[in-house]
Chains A and B, each alone.
Chain A
């Protein structure tokens, strides 16, 4: 295995609406930021991979427009996933492992403001038995939350405390959309209240990956990806054990997360109840700083929020605030698909 690290990370300010900007216009500043941070030019990058969804934009092949922002002509080595950018990062990591690239630019963006994201996300559901009922993303999360409450794993007060802790932490995050004390609010779909749900917003993120000595040359303290793995569960909700996340646990095991304690965990939990599930699956106790960025409850640009977890964890290592961090990304309803990466600074076990 090659040593691969995240050497740069940038994200936009996440905003409820960005009517004045197209997707590529949202994206370009973060692309320039990660390139400037490493001193690389677009033509130096070995592989480029992006994550986004046509369903957010309401247009086919919308990612091709965003490609203008990376300088795709003359032709570059490029790929795209119709998923969160965390999965684009995984593809780029695999590409570097194959030896076909030493550096990769990974970016993702989500502009949710043109549509109703609760309705849009129903189109990713099983089209035979579930999609025709249009259960929205909050409804599905609420079913999981009620299952947790019934199992005695949490209650509405504990969920509100997760929301509070996240948004207070986000006060130090200049990019966050929701920060500071946020009222619990009314039920959106009971038992979830507005405070338990993520903000709807637009935003983008970018990272640069590099291998071995290239990473050391580009970044004073690279965030080495010591392990990364992703797993999926059965698509039918009624088959799954909603109060647990065996796919997260398995991905974490394969990524080596349980070999030594982590000091930081960036969890992609857009709903408060999902943090309860993930903490259990990942066996995180109070010694771990969970979502110091505020997490997806503070900023949830769909398709970028998972990549941002990897980026936030890496940035803490770059800044010397963490030695060993866990980053998690999810996709699909009720934590259907989960990715776990373990990131370390060079001195962690020197």
Chain B
């Protein structure tokens, strides 16, 4: 069995698997873009942006793209803001790992090479693995193919110092038991919303919203190039159209892929969708099928159903604990037969708006803040539901903060989100962090008429806990529930980042 291992625990910065990865990447990078087994062809399968690719030197102005048939079949397939996010990326990784392994073998390397994963949550491992951060090979010679110049990290004052700030990411998604959720403002589910026919791709699922999006932006960062653009330009990892060009992309996604299986192992309720529209993929909606080339160039078509069968995918991970500490709940995975104990589907659960601030909130510099007025009747409803224990089979009351129609041109931006409940008499109360949002994909979602509607992205953050703390208090000023966004790195004015609407929404029976 092929085992994907922790990149920080391979036994040295330049342990064999990393060295062979570097050699293979070095062999694939010079191949023509149009070659199905080239480095850049694989990046283009995730996304492509002519301006950025040419500006960063990943494509010469005169260089030919893949022929139209190949372009249409393979390129720009990445699934975001959809319940296909996890299965599409799993197949993409499998195809990529096969290509690297075949290349390693052709360079006389080991036939059991596997893609390492980067578990930034494990203690002491949130830094970029050193082999990726050095422009040199271990012998001190330059030209290390794992090194990427356009990987600036979370702090613009220290470009190139790459790490994942742990206060900006969390594993809250692992506690969600439904794979798919609602599009109307409640929980989107671990894997994302059933995008059906109205495929918008603007509502990222829980594991995609956190930590996937943040890690992209925090690692890639952004930089000003005043001569090229008034707006900041994203690091390769920060935008979907360039992310696949960075060798660290694959280690990040291996971790997300690992978390999918961790989630399934951690609780018997955590199961993949049974709907045939998920299992058979977007082809069942008349949309593009999932397809990647094999090392010999022939196309391999795969479905979410195949990706969901973990025993059949041909690899496993050395460790399934999300943060590197043992899984507590593994035992319960076998306690109940799967299927028999499926949860009551949340189909009957109502999603209702509790309060709205509809003034667009511009986000620049260190952040922005506003307040959301809450409807007294709706608040009373939430408070009373929270005060009583839910009847058996009923859904517990949950409250979400929705950041809707978030638009702008800074994919690297990560915003810490805080809520705070003030007293009527002006007594301030403690502010609570309720998570963070990463604007990965925001530029594409903002542009109109380029295959998107231009309405921006929207986010739903669970604020049940802080809301519950104050729900019963008669002193809370319902007209002023504070929401504060704090940028991890300063947001450029020219990036025009704004939140179109902020709402508080309840979900329950």
A and B together in one complex = no
Chain A contacts to B: CB under 8 angstroms: none
